[in-house]
Amino acid sequence: MAGDAIDQHLSHQARERLREVLSSLGGSLLQYSRHCSPWVPHHAEPTLAALMKLVERQSDSVRELAESLGMNVVDFAARSSDDFTDMHYVSLDFLIERILADQSRRVARLKADVVDLEIGLPPLARQVLDREIAILDELRSLKHQLDNPP
């Protein structure tokens, strides 16, 4: 359950993988997007608001993983700013396209980690995976909305 410490009998390999997942999600472009100021046409302001809600949902995963591993929650994305400094002051459609690609890579890696360590992982890992897949689906929907304005 979220907030509970992960089973102390979890293998060292599983713990390290969960730390890698935590770092990956926390350092995602989706998380970094809270620090960006994309250009947003008036009709796309609701899309930006929806994107920020996805940032918060992913932040929940980061917080829950950090707490369960007994770690302090940090703003990983702010620390990984060198990777994304060129994402400031770009258009929202450009940014979402990049976020979608980044999220797709991270979900693929997370799926591989969960499948590879399925037996030794706590239920939280599956919950995080499910949440990240749902975020990816919603990002696709937001991209579609931007590509097809009213």
Q: Over its length of 150 residues, how does the chain's per-residue pLDDT go in tens digits? A: 444 455 566 677 778 888 888 888 888 999 989 888 889 999 999 999 999 999 999 999 999 888 888 887 665 545 555 677 777 789 999 999 999 999 999 999 988 877 766 655 678 888 999 999 999 999 999 999 999 987
CB 29 within 8 A of CB 102: yes
- What is the three-class DSSP state of 8? coil
Q: Which CATH number fits domain 12-147: 1.10.3470, 1.20.120, 1.20.1630, 1.20.1260?
A: 1.20.1260
* pLDDT of res. 113: 78
* Cβ contact 52:148 at 8 Å: no
In degrees, rounded to 5, the angle at the alpha carbon of residue 26 between the alpha carbons of residues 91 and 105 is 65
pLDDT of amino acid 34: 87
Q: What residue spans of 12-147 are helical by DSSP H?
A: 12-26, 29-32, 45-68, 76-79, 81-84, 92-116, 123-147
* Whether 80 contacts 106, CB under 8 Å: no
pTM of the model: 0.85
**CA 115 remoteness from chain centre:** 19
Instruction: State whether residue 38 is helix, strand or coil.
Output: coil
